[in-house]
C-alpha cells in the first residue's frame, strides 16, 4: 500500500486509470493513482457512502497506523488502499 | 448455539467497577458535560440483545471532548475514529457516551440526534457487523440510540450494572406494576416493583441435589418467573433425606433394594426419576405460573451452557471442578452475577468428623472469581477429564460406593443465605456501600464470632477469567471452557 501523501502541486491528481479503493468498508471506484482527499470523499459520496465532505478522512496503513488525509493532500492509491471517514460527535 | 438475529429489547450490561469509573468521569461534581466511548460485545438471544460493556475509553476534556461545532461539546473526529477502529478490530459495538443533568429522566436533544443522523451511518459502515450508537446518562438514568448493522435503529430499553446491588437504569422510571395478592406479605418488604423484578427474572440453578433442590424451591416461592435447572443425575435412595420434594418412588426403592437381583437393581437405577424432574415438580407446586427448563444434562457441554447466556443470575450448586470452571466463565464472560454454594463434612481417619461447614461465595462480573482465588483446581480438572477406567488405573479415586457425608440442614444454611443475597441485591434493598464477602458457617466452632468467617476475595489483575484482559465482557467473542 502506498504511504505517500503530498500537498497538491503541479501534478494534476485524478488523471490515470480506474482503481477500486475502500472507504468505510465500501468499495469506491476512483481515477488514480494520485488523488486528493477531497476527491476520495466526493467519489465516495457519489457512490453512496454515507459521509459528508467535512468528515475527517484517514488512510489505514498496513502498519496498523492511520494517517489523516486533508482535502488538499494528494495520496497515491491502489486496490489495497483503505480509508475511513468519520465526523466528530456533537452533543448538546 | 445457532446465532440469533439481533432483536428487541436491547439492554446494556456493565460491570460495577467500570460503571463506577464512568460515573466518576461523567459526574465529577462540576455540573459540566463529559464524554466517553464504550466498546461492547453483542449477544443476541431469544430474550433480546445484550450489549456487554468490555472496553471503556474516557475522553479527555479539552483534548478528545472539546467545544462543539454544532452543539455544546463534541467528541473529536480523531477520537471517534480511533475508538471505532478499536471496536471493529475486537468485534465490539461502538457506543458514544455523554451526560446530561437531572436524575431519573434523560433523553437526547435535537442536537444530539442530528449528530447521530450525520455521523452514525458512517460508523455503522466501518463496524460492519456490530451496531454503532449513542448513550446519554443522567445520574440515575440512561437512554440509548442504536444504529444496527441491518440498517434498522433501536432504543436501549435499560442498562444493568452488575454489582451489589444490581442496579437497573432506564430512560425514565417504568410505570408502577400491578399488585399480586399472592405475594402481599413479601412484597410489603420490597414492594410491587421488587415483585415485578422477580417475575421478570430468568435464573439458573446448576446442580439439583441437596443445595440446588432447596434453592429451586426458594426461588419458585419468591415468584421468580423462569428457571433453568441443570443436573445429569437420577434420584438415589441415599438422596431422599436431603432432596427437596423427592419421594421414595423417585428412587425406585422397591427395585434397587439390595435384596433384589442385580439386573432388577440396575433397572431401578436406570429408571429412577431425574433430579431435575423432581426440581421442576417442586417449582411448579410452589408457583403455578413459573416457566421451568429442566435439563437432565451436564453444564460442561457447550450446548447446555449456551442455555445460560441470557440468564439474570446463576446459582452454582454442583460439586465438580468443571462445572465451577464453566459457571465462573459464564459469570465474567456474559456479565451475569451469581453465587457458589456448598456444604462439606470432612472426615478423618477412623471416620471421625474433623470439620463441618457451609459456604456462600457471591460472584459478580470482575469480582469474586473462583479461578483467581484458587477454588478451581487444575489437578482436579485434569482428573475429571479422565474416564472412569483411566481413573481406576491411576488409582486417583476412592471407592465410588463411598459417598461423602451430607446433611440437609448444612445445605439449607448455604442455600438460604445465597437466595437471601440474591433477593436483596436484585430488588435493590442492599444499603449503599454494601461490601460483599464470602462466608463460611462453622457450626462446630465453640465461640461465636468464629462460627461465621468472612473472606474478602482477591482479584488478579491478569486473571484469564475475570480481568479486562481475560474473559470479562467477551460474550460470544470467546469460547467457553466447555466440552
The domain that contains B352 carries what CATH number? 3.40.50.720
- Say if residues B437 and B409 touch (Cβ distance below 8 Å): no
Say whether both B403 and B424 belong to one domain: yes
Interface size between A and B, measured as CB pairs under 8 A: 92
- Which helix (H) or strand (E) segment holds residue B362: the answer is strand B353-363
Domain hosting B302: range is: 181-233+274-455
Say whether both B223 and B309 belong to one domain: yes
Say whether both B210 and B154 belong to one domain: no
In B, which residues are within 8 Å of A45 by CB distance?
A: none
Q: In this structure, is residue B263 part of a structural domain?
A: no
Q: In this structure, is residue B187 part of a structural domain?
A: yes
Give B14 to chain A, closest Cα distance, Å. Answer: 23
Q: In this structure, is residue B439 part of a structural domain?
A: yes
Which of residues B142, B169, B196 is at a domain's end? Answer: B169
In B, which residues are within 8 Å of A24 by CB distance?
A: 122, 125-126
Say whether both B200 and B161 belong to one domain: no
Give A48 to chain B, closest Cα distance, Å. Answer: 11
CA dist B467 and B470 (Å) reads 5
Say whether both B319 and B193 belong to one domain: yes
How far is residue B244 CA from its own chain's centroid?
Answer: 24
- Of A49, A86, A91, which has the smallest distance from its Cβ to B111's Cβ? A91
Q: Which domains does chain A have, with CATH numbers?
A: 18-86 (3.10.20.90)
Say whether both B401 and B303 belong to one domain: yes
B122 contacts A49? CB cut-off 8 A: yes
In A, which residues are within 8 Å of B85 by CB distance?
A: 60, 66, 84
CATH number at residue B88: 3.40.140.10
A50 contacts B71? CB cut-off 8 A: no
Say whether both B96 and B197 belong to one domain: no
Give A16 to chain B, closest Cα distance, Å. Answer: 28
Angle, helices B408-426/B210-222, rounded to nearest 10 degrees: 40
B81 contacts A86? CB cut-off 8 A: yes
All three cell numbers of A89: 460527535
- Say if residues B221 and B232 touch (Cβ distance below 8 Å): no
Q: Which residues contact B261 (CB under 8 A, 6 or more apart)?
A: none
Say whether both B323 and B417 belong to one domain: yes
Q: Which residue in chain B has the smallest CA separation from A44?
A: B122
Which of residues B121, B140, B169 is at a domain's end? Answer: B169
Say whether both B157 and B293 belong to one domain: no
Say whether both B200 and B336 belong to one domain: yes
CA dist B455 and B311 (Å) reads 27
Q: In this structure, is residue B64 part of a structural domain?
A: yes
Which of residues B169, B189, B210 is at a domain's end? Answer: B169
Domain count, chain B: 2
- Say if residues B128 and B151 touch (Cβ distance below 8 Å): no
Q: In this structure, is residue B346 part of a structural domain?
A: yes
CA dist B96 and B79 (Å) reads 11
Q: What is the pLDDT of residues A17-70, one digit of tens each?
A: 999 999 999 999 999 899 999 999 999 999 999 999 999 999 999 998 999 999
Say whether both B405 and B340 belong to one domain: yes
Q: In this structure, is residue B103 part of a structural domain?
A: yes
Q: In this structure, is residue B402 part of a structural domain?
A: yes
Q: In this structure, is residue B475 part of a structural domain?
A: no
Give A28 to chain B, closest Cα distance, Å. Answer: 13
All three cell numbers of B421: 443475597
Say whether both B162 and B219 belong to one domain: no
Per-residue pLDDT of chain B (483 residues; tens, 9 = 90+): 566 899 999 999 999 999 999 999 999 999 999 999 999 999 999 999 999 999 999 999 999 999 999 999 999 999 999 999 999 999 999 999 999 999 999 999 999 999 999 999 999 999 999 999 999 999 999 999 999 999 999 999 999 999 999 999 999 999 989 989 999 999 999 999 999 999 999 999 999 999 999 999 999 999 999 999 999 999 999 999 999 999 999 999 888 888 889 998 888 889 999 999 999 999 999 999 999 999 999 999 999 999 999 999 999 999 899 999 999 999 999 999 999 999 988 888 888 888 899 999 999 999 999 999 999 989 888 888 877 666 556 544 444 445 678 889 999 999 999 999 999 999 989 988 898 999 999 999 988 788 899 999 998 999 999 999 999 999 999 999 999
Amino acid at each position: 500500500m502506498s504511504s505517500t501523501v503530498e500537498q497538491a502541486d503541479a501534478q494534476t491528481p485524478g488523471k490515470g486509470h480506474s482503481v477500486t479503493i475502500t472507504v468505510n468498508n465500501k468499495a469506491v471506484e476512483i481515477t488514480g493513482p494520485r488523488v486528493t482527499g477531497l476527491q476520495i470523499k466526493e467519489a465516495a459520496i457519489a457512490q453512496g457512502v454515507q459521509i459528508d465532505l467535512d468528515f475527517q478522512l484517514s488512510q489505514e496503513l498496513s502498519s496498523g497506523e492511520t494517517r489523516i488525509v486533508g482535502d488538499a493532500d494528494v495520496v497515491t492509491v491502489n486496490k489495497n488502499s483503505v480509508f475511513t471517514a468519520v465526523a466528530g460527535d456533537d452533543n448538546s | 448455539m445457532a446465532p440469533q438475529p439481533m432483536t428487541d429489547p436491547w439492554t446494556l450490561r456493565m460491570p460495577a467497577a467500570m460503571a463506577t469509573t464512568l460515573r466518576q468521569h461523567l459526574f465529577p461534581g462540576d455540573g459540566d458535560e463529559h464524554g466517553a466511548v464504550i466498546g461492547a460485545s453483542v449477544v443476541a438471544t431469544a430474550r433480546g440483545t445484550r450489549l456487554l460493556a468490555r472496553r471503556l475509553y474516557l475522553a479527555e476534556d479539552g483534548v478528545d471532548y472539546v467545544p462543539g461545532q454544532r452543539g455544546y461539546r463534541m467528541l473529536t473526529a480523531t477520537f471517534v475514529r480511533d475508538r471505532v477502529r478499536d471496536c471493529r478490530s475486537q468485534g465490539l459495538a461502538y457506543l458514544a457516551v455523554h451526560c446530561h443533568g437531572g436524575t431519573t429522566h434523560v433523553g437526547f436533544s435535537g442536537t444530539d440526534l442530528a449528530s447521530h443522523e450525520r455521523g452514525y451511518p458512517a460508523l455503522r459502515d466501518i463496524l460492519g457487523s456490530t451496531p454503532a450508537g449513542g448513550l446519554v446518562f443522567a445520574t440515575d438514568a440512561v437512554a440509548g440510540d442504536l444504529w444496527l448493522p441491518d440498517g434498522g435503529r433501536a432504543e436501549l430499553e435499560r442498562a444493568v450494572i452488575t454489582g451489589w446491588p444490581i442496579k437497573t437504569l432506564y430512560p425514565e422510571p417504568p410505570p408502577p406494576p400491578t399488585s399480586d395478592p399472592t405475594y402481599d406479605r413479601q412484597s410489603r418488604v420490597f414492594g410491587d416493583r421488587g415483585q415485578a423484578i422477580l417475575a421478570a427474572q430468568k435464573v439458573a440453578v446448576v446442580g439439583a441435589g441437596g443445595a440446588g433442590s432447596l434453592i429451586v424451591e426458594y426461588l419458585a416461592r419468591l415468584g421468580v418467573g423462569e428457571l433453568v435447572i441443570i443436573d445429569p443425575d437420577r434420584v438415589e435412595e441415599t438422596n431422599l433425606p436431603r432432596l427437596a420434594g423427592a419421594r421414595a418412588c423417585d428412587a425406585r426403592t422397591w427395585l434397587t433394594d439390595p435384596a433384589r437381583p442385580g439386573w432388577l437393581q440396575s433397572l431401578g437405577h436406570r429408571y429412577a426419576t431425574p433430579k431435575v424432574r423432581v426440581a421442576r415438580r417442586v417449582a411448579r407446586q410452589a408457583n403455578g405460573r413459573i416457566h421451568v427448563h429442566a435439563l437432565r444434562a451436564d453444564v460442561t457441554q457447550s450446548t447446555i451452557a449456551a442455555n445460560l447466556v441470557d440468564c439474570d443470575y446463576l446459582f452454582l450448586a454442583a460439586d465438580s471442578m468443571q462445572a465451577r470452571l464453566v459457571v465462573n466463565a459464564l459469570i465474567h464472560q456474559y456479565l451475569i452475577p451469581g453465587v457458589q454454594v456448598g456444604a462439606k463434612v470432612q472426615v478423618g481417619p477412623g471416620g471421625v468428623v474433623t470439620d463441618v461447614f457451609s459456604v456462600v461465595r457471591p460472584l459478580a462480573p470482575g469480582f469474586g472469581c473462583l479461578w483467581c482465588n484458587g477454588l478451581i483446581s487444575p489437578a482436579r480438572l485434569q482428573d475429571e477429564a479422565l474416564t472412569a477406567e483411566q481413573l481406576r488405573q491411576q488409582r486417583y479415586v476412592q471407592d465410588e460406593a463411598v459417598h461423602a457425608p451430607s446433611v440437609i440442614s448444612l445445605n439449607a444454611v448455604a442455600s438460604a443465605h445465597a437466595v437471601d443475597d440474591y433477593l436483596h441485591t436484585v430488588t435493590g434493598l442492599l444499603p449503599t456501600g454494601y461490601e460483599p464477602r464470602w462466608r463460611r458457617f462453622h457450626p462446630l466452632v465453640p465461640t461465636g464470632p468464629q462460627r461465621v468467617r468472612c473472606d474478602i476475595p482477591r482479584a488478579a489483575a491478569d486473571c484469564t477469567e475475570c480481568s479486562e484482559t481475560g474473559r470479562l465482557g467477551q460474550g460470544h467473542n470467546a469460547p467457553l471452557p466447555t466440552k
